[in-house]
């Protein structure tokens, strides 16, 4: 299956993002800590390449902590300032504001020397769908300034939000890019919920997930469902369906429902803290 999703509103949002880029001082990019590379839109990187940028690896509470540390080292070694966050918590907010001010210090100094009146920093929040951008904004704003939802495509328009007296933030819709050159990127984005589930073949997607778990997190399925992980996929799916009570009339395993349960368990870390990619792999 070709995991692609690029509806018309994303093409429009990309154009608006490019037009508004000249208005901002710093770009705040959110990526998913479980897939830090696959969840970074290359179009956004190109549009914002001349701006100061801060990378936030959100949903770090759902990712493999050891792998996330590798990613932070990787990005820092490549000159990308990076913070790991759980957008629902607040302990990262002060370091975040300090990093924004640090990144914009040169701009403030340049404007001061020109005799310009000090103004709020203008930031832009960017990222792919369902990466937690609206939750991040509501946490730093201290109010429900952005609409949230546990599905992609909730934010459709751009809006300016005053975070405090020093920073104004332009919220932008989550956007993907027209074509994934590597099919594995689309698979990873489908697994974390950045592509609408209605467009996916969940049975095939769970096959990809179970193969990955067997290889990289061999105890995850047994730990959650108490099933024999050595079973082939059809039998394994039936075993998971039985373990979770996903049965049709006649006690027939409901494999579609079992797949929905497994995807939800992965996305909420009930299968454990799992990362789907590592630096250099």
How does pLDDT run along the chain (281 residues), one tens digit per residue?
A: 556 666 678 888 899 999 999 999 999 999 999 999 999 999 999 999 889 999 999 999 999 999 999 999 999 999 999 999 999 999 999 999 999 988 888 888 888 888 888 888 999 999 999 999 989 999 998 766 555 445 444 455 678 898 888 899 999 999 999 888 898 999 999 999 998 877 778 999 999 999 999 999 999 999 999 999 999 999 999 999 999 999 998 889 999 999 999 999 999 999 999 999 999 76
Residue 109: which residues within 8 A CB-CB, separation 6 or more?
none
**pLDDT score of 1:** 53
Query: What does the DSSP 8-state code read for residue 230?
Result: T
**pLDDT score of 251:** 86
Comparing CA positions, the residue from 75, 241, 266 lying closest to residue 188 is: 266
**pLDDT score of 153:** 43
Q: Could you tell me the sign of the dihedral formed by the alpha carbons of 64, 67, 73, 76, in that order?
A: negative
Instruction: Decide the pairing of beta strands 52-58 and 81-84.
Output: parallel
**pLDDT score of 4:** 66
DSSP of 174-217: ----S--SSHHHHHHHHHHT-S-GGGS-HHHHHHHHHHHHHHH-
End-to-end CA distance of the chain: 22
Strand pairing partners for 248?
252
**pLDDT score of 249:** 87
Dmax over Cα atoms in the chain, in whole Å?
A: 79
**pLDDT score of 157:** 61
- pTM, two decimal places: 0.89
CA 94 vs CA 104, 139, 185: distances in Å: 16, 11, 33
**pLDDT score of 123:** 95
- Order of all β-strands in the sheet with 167-171: 81-84, 52-58, 26-32, 121-127, 167-171, 159-162
């Amino acid at each position: 299956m070709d995991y692609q999703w690029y509806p018309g509103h994303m093409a429009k949002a990309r154009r608006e993002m490019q037009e508004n880029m000249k208005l901002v001082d710093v770009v705040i990019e959110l990526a998913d800590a479980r897939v830090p590379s696959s969840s970074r839109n290359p179009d956004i990187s190109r549009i914002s390449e001349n701006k100061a940028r801060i990378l936030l690896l959100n949903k770090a509470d759902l990712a493999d902590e050891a792998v996330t540390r590798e990613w932070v080292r990787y990005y820092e070694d490549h000159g990308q300032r990076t913070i790991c966050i759980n957008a629902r918590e607040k302990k990262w907010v002060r370091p975040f504001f300090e990093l924004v001010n640090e990144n914009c210090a040169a701009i403030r100094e340049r404007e001061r020397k020109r005799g310009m009146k000090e103004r709020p920093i203008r930031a832009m929040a960017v990222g792919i769908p369902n990466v937690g951008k609206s939750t991040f904004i509501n946490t730093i704003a201290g109010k429900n300034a952005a609409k949230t939802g546990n599905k992609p495509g909730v934010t459709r328009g751009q809006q300016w939000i005053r975070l405090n007296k020093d920073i104004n933030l332009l919220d932008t819709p989550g956007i993907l890019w027209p074509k994934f050159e590597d099919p594995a990127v689309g698979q990873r984005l489908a697994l974390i919920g950045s592509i609408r589930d209605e467009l996916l073949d969940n049975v095939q997607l769970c096959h990809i997930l179970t193969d990955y778990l067997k290889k990289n997190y061999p105890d995850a399925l047994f730990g959650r469902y108490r099933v024999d992980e050595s079973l082939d996929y059809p039998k394994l799916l039936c075993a998971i369906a039985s373990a979770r009570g996903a049965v049709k009339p006649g006690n027939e395993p409901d494999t579609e429902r079992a797949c929905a349960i497994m995807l939800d368990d992965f996305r909420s870390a009930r299968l454990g803290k799992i990362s789907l990619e590592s630096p250099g792999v």
